[in-house]
Structure 1
Amino acid sequence: MSKQYENFGPADFDKFDCVKIALGVYLILLFILRGYLIWLMSVTNMQDRVSIIAWVYPDPKLFYLSLLSGLGGILTVFLLSLRRPGANSFIKKMCRQLKNILFIALFFDWLINLVAYYFWQMQSKEWLLINSVTIIIAVIYLYSSKRVNINVQEFPEKLPEK
């Protein structure tokens, strides 16, 4: 058994003997996709579909900007959903770039919030600071996590039938 796998147990592997995608990747995706999650919550609220969006995003432009910044997250979710044996070489190459795609999505999210604050005065300093710190922590996690490194190196292959 390779040294990089010594801290993993059987529950850490999927049905293709690959290490399951790191929980931190999913948390980063939740952060990037927060606009879409709020939108989904508002759509499922049958009594008042706009109140949740208005509560989280007082200015409707902020909501639309959040949807725009979440496009990188949608690409990542789509990519992870295609990560399976038999995928074409383009998907394999893109999965090897998972950290970079998430970094670009986080940077794009930060950039949109920065523009919203400085040019349109739609954000508070506190929100911009919290957003910036969250993104810095996420980037540090992406590039220092051993599990994420393994996720990027591995790609599911069809296992022989027993």
Structure 2
Amino acid sequence: MNRHNYSAYSVQDFDHYDCLKISKWVYLSLIFILRGYVVWLMSVTNMKDRVGIIQWIYPETSLFYLSLGSGALGIFIVIVLSLRRPKAKSWVKRSWLHVKGILTLALLFDLIICLVAFFYWHLLSLTWLITQAIIVGGLIIILNSSKKFMINIAEFPEPLPEKKKKVIKLP
């Protein structure tokens, strides 16, 4: 990486492996892709009415299951993101190099599921479909043009040299 790529960032922008912290747009994209799982977790934690939140957000049960299905690639990205550390397995490193493509594919897959739900099963409204297309298009454009995300993909945490501890000998 070129040193000038890091000139816009301060010390707080780096993690404890001296890598640039992951772009917030990645996390926002993952929340969007995994919204079915987020709703499911919210409903599980609601002790009074476990199904009420799901039925309120997804009036048609099929939509909820489709959202879980379309979030499967997002789960894979979360796994790769959580395993991104020094001495990671080779499949994690290879997957990290392709995370931009996988994230773009996950967003497009989510949109395709919604298109099928709209045109084939008539489960979505046109307003929600257009809104989702705008959100997906915007996230794809932002992720593919983000310099910080490009730096994130180019970096992979490496083991840091151990700091020598001073040993004080008492007489």
Give the TM-score, by structure 2 length: 0.93
The residue number in structure 1 matching 2:54 is 53
* Structure 2, unaligned runs of 5 or more: 164-171
Q: 111-120 or 80-89: which moved more?
A: 80-89
Residue 111 of structure 1 corresponds to 112
Amino acid at match of 2:43: S
Map of 1:17 onto structure 2:
18
| C-alpha separation in 2, matches of 1:75 and 1:105 | 10
Whole-angstrom distance in 2 between the partners of 1:88 and 1:73: 20
The separation in 2 between residues aligned to 1:102 and 1:140, in whole angstroms, is 12
What CA deviation, in whole Å up to 9, does each residue of 1:87-139 have, x standing for no partner?
12221111011100100100110000000000000000000000000000000
Equivalent positions of 1:72-87 (< 5 A) are: 72-87=73-88
State the secondary structure of the residue aligned to 1:19: coil
Aligned-partner residue type, residue 21 of structure 2: K
Whole-angstrom distance in 2 between the partners of 1:142 and 1:101: 12
Give the Cα separation in 2 of the matches to 1:53 and 1:112.
18
Percent of aligned pairs sharing the same letter = 52
Structure 1, unmatched stretches of 5+, are none
Matches within 5 A, 1:135-146: 135-146=136-147
Query: 2: CA distance between counterparts of 1:94 and 1:48?
Result: 39
Q: 2:36 maps to which residue?
A: 35
Name the CA distance, whole Å, in 2 between partners of 1:4 and 1:98. Answer: 20
In structure 2, C-alpha distance between the alignment counterparts of 1:46 and 1:143, rounded to whole Å: 41
**Total equivalences in the alignment:** 162
Name the SS of the counterpart of 1:158 in structure 2. coil
| Cα distance between partner residues in 2 of 1:101 and 1:158 | 26
Hey, what's the Cα distance between the residues in 1 that align with 2:62 and 2:16? 43
TM-score (norm 1): 0.98
Task: Please give the alpha-carbon distance, in whole angstroms, between the structure 2 residues aligned to 1:155 and 1:77.
Answer: 16
Deviation at 1:18, TM superposition (A): 0.3
Deviations 1:12-55, CA, capped at 9 Å, x for gaps = 00011000000110000000000000000001100011110000
What corresponds to 1:69 in structure 2? 70
Answer yes or no: is 1:127 the counterpart of 2:128.
yes
Q: For residues 39 and 107 of structure 2, what CA distance do their matches in structure 1 show?
A: 18
In structure 1, what is the Cα distance between the partners aligned to 2:89 and 2:31?
27
CA RMSD of aligned residues (A): 0.8
- Structure 1 runs of 4+ aligned residues shifted over 2 Å read none
